[in-house]
Structure 1
């Protein structure tokens, strides 16, 4: 039987998704379980095993030749372990070995979730056709990944491109990571909302204090909401410009929940980027919204597994 499919896992603090994916990035079968994030490590692994069991029960499983995992991080691909910040039961958890055992010894490729989304956007989304790209996830946190020279660049541990923890404000607030003034501390959804509230923004009668509510207020012209998004955009622009200057990317793709704010974020981001990306080789840097949506994690994990098998980013690329 020809093994033309890969199994993909997308593991986050809220849900564990699995899929069987073909060489064109199509998800032929999906399974999902809630992440029991506050339980012990083996309970969390039980949810992963439930997802895998559902995939393995399909007749398509016999066409599956490898497994790709995109996981919330930090991950350590060299050791096959994961330590997701929002899943305290998993610290240096041997996820690759456990998944390999469940699948009867199939090869398993592990990358961070930001790298997975980057792989998806480069294979099938907004970064398609670009050999050098930064893809960012701006959400509860800020993550990302790199494509360099036409190939996914996960780095030795699978975390390369983690732009959220570039420091862009040397005297800024301390970040939970231990550094100061990180992009994430300024541009993540919760921090956009926090800054708006501290500045005197008042939520509507529904009491919604999310970044999406701040985005809606900014769209309606609320000056405090506009200012909070402008500050987030400035931090993102500084991080993107630093990355572009270092490795010469030609497109930055913005995804994640905050990325869905659209021009409320992208317009000030492009304006701020013009102030930071001033050297000739970064001046024409394109900024684009992500295209892959909620399937990005699965498609990207599949791309990484296919890339290991074919020596490229994904089969046929």
Structure 2
């Protein structure tokens, strides 16, 4: 019997049925409502109904934008303002009658890539999503690492600039303020670039635009610093990076790998590999199912 997986984010909510080999059998998706908590829940409930109408499930795994509170079974996503301390586990359990397990979306991305994607075989893995925001999750010694509250791996809110800009999290100088797609775009525009978004910025960098290339250099330097710091603490062997900005390919990964050489002084950190994610938009669903496994 399949696992029902949910992937809840600020842009979209997805539900799917995942088999025991990690294959996505069915997938349903809708935009995330932002007008009220109940509107967002009604979309979630509708997607659950669609998935269960396609086949039975034995349990539910939920990947949610965070912060999450595992003990309470609640979520307070920074990018879903209408959900604060929302009792997602209780709501899903009541609706489905199934056992439910919750995890942060960054952790689930890492688990999905560890199970079925670029992270197969890695024992100490950091999974990262570089997109509208920057998320992350850790697989340590082959197992998901939740941390005390379920929020371990929030690499996007590691400080990369001690005198940096204020972040949406309330802190200052987080790597997300430098290397997320919107912040890269905003910085490039402040330097005179006239494009509209990170996708255009990547295209401009690929075409040799100096400001766009500088934006990627600035972002990848910040990413390299926090990746090297995390690797030093956790003794990582692999970092897998997905998300919209990562679709820039070598425009991101080339300068990132070069920047890493400046921060990886210790021998064991120099062995760190950095790879693009393989699962794309399915990583959260596959990882949510992995929570149940």
Question: Alpha-carbon deviation of 1:139?
Answer: 0.3
Confirm or deny that 1:109 pairs with 2:93.
no
CA contact (8 A) 1:78 1:156 kept: no
Q: Distance in 2 between the 1:238 and 1:139 partners?
A: 18
Query: Once superposed, which parts of structure 1, at least 4 consecutive aligned residues long, lie more than 6 Å away?
Result: none
- Pairing of 1:91-240 with structure 2 (within 5 A): 91-104=84-97, 106-203=98-195, 209-240=196-227
- Scaled by the length of structure 1, the TM-score of the pair is 0.90
RMSD of aligned Cα (Å): 1.1
Residue 87 of structure 1, CA deviation: 1.8
Number of the residue aligned with 2:257: 270
- Match of 1:260, SS? helix
Partner of 1:6: 3
> Match for residue 82 of structure 1?
75
1:67 is paired with a residue whose SS is strand
- Please list, as runs of the form range in 1=range in 2, the aligned pairs for 1:231-310 lying within 5 A after superposition: 231-306=218-293
Structure 1 segments unaligned to the other structure (5+ residues): 204-208, 307-317
TM-score, scaled relative to structure 2: 0.97
Please say which structure displays the higher CA radius of gyration: 1
2:8 equivalent to 1:16 = no
**1:51 counterpart (28, 47, 50):** 47
8 Å Cα contact 2:78-2:169 kept in structure 1 = no
Cα deviation per residue 1:127-167 (whole Å; 9 max; x = unaligned)?
11000011100000000001110111122322211100000
Segments of 5+ residues of structure 2 without an aligned counterpart are: none
Per-residue deviation, 1:5: 1.6
Figure out how many residues of one structure are paired with residues of the other and give that number.
293
Equivalent residues of 2:132, 2:182 under 8 A apart: yes
Whether the 8 Å CA contact 2:24–2:286 is kept in 1: the answer is: yes
